[in-house]
Amino acid sequence: MTQVKICGVQDPLHAEAAAHAGADAIGLVFAPSKRQVSIEKARDISSAVPKHVKKVGVFVNTDPEELVRIKEEVGLDFVQLHGDETPEFCRHLSIPYIKALSITTEQDLKKLEQYEADYMLLDSGNGPARGGNGTTFDWSLLKQISIDPSQFILAGGLHEENVQEAIEQTNPTMVDVSSGVETNSVKDPKKIKQFIERVKERS
């Protein structure tokens, strides 16, 4: 069954709503972003969800020591690397990690084989931010490569109306959504519930 990660959670109540609706993971953004949270707020959010819901911290070009420190302080299960972290940088990490890649062309997919991450998250390369731009990429590009579905997370522009097609075309182990479950840039418990229901229907 396809899992669901609700990313960019900023409020413990929204984290609780996601967990209650059946989310498998939540994402806490520590990188500069309109969804960025402090360590204190992240701890509150993390403690609001059951242990079976994975807590993922989203970072951009953060020092390894800082990654470990925040992971321990907040109780993260994974760190998600959304910056220019090299394969060598990642090989020296002592903690579980997800490497995010922005996909615009087939050439971008060649970076996949360079990393030995617990999961690879493929996101849209379109937009000003590193992730969270609310746009999809060309899913048909994935037909050109061999990717282990059990290690593949799909992100970028997903919402209730397109997520079933996305799963059918790409077969990810998890789908990652942020703006697609928001109203006026704030997480919407109703949209979170509807999104998760649509994913689980397809699965």
Catalytic residue among 11, 44, 123, 188: 123
Closest by CA to 34, choosing from 100, 104, 131, 125, is 131
Token pair listed for 6:
């609700």
CB of 81 within 8 A of CB of 98?
Answer: yes
Euclidean distance between CA atoms 162 and 122, whole angstroms: 16
Q: Tell me, yes or no, if 123 is annotated catalytic.
A: yes
Is 77 annotated as catalytic?
Answer: no
Given 7, 77, 118, 188, the catalytic residue: 7
Q: What is the DSSP string of 13-34?
A: HHHHHHHHHT-SEEEEE-SSST
Measure the CA angle with vertex 79, ends 75 and 81; round to 5°. 160
Active site residues: 7, 123
